[in-house]
Amino acid sequence: MLRKYLWIALRRVAVSLLCGGAFYLVWMAIFLFATKLDNAVVEGLLWILAPVVTAAGFATGIVLFDRLVIATKHRFFPVLLWPLVGCAAGAGVVYWFGPMLIVFGMLVAGTASIALREVLALKGMRAKR
């Protein structure tokens, strides 16, 4: 049972990371287009939205995986809280080393938050036994 759950959790985290990266790439394309507008308000808003969009990608990956592979339904917003905290923290820490490096902080911390969610879910399953 444990081996099966670990395999599912690993795949869930991988799909979540892929979706988080894809959402970040979409955000980056929009951001690069917006820089040509030379509007500081739009650019500032987009910087603030970067962790939110990336976290939405992580959460979308989990929800899609669970609906397609496991046939369970999670609500989106409770799942979103985990990667949102991770992505915001990752972006906040790495921003001071260079704003364009936030992708690394968000992807690492977002993945870590999803992995932590999976570990806590496993502990919850074991406690129910």
Q: What DSSP string describes the chain?
A: -HHHHHHHHHHHHHHHHHHHHHHHHHHHHHHHHHHTTT-HHHHHHHHHHHHHHHHHHHHHHHHHHIIIII-----HHHHHHHHHHHHHHHHHHHHTT-GGGHHHHHHHHHHHHHHHHHHHHHHHHHHH-
59-91, pLDDT tens digit by residue? Answer: 999 999 988 888 777 788 989 999 999 999 999
pTM to 2 decimal places = 0.89
98-113, pLDDT tens digit by residue? Answer: 888 999 999 999 999 9
Q: What is the pLDDT of residue 17?
A: 96
* 36, pLDDT greater than 60: yes
* 129, pLDDT greater than 60: no
Residue owning tokens 């999976």: 118
2-15, pLDDT tens digit by residue? Answer: 788 888 889 999 99
pLDDT above 70 covers a percentage of the chain that reads 95
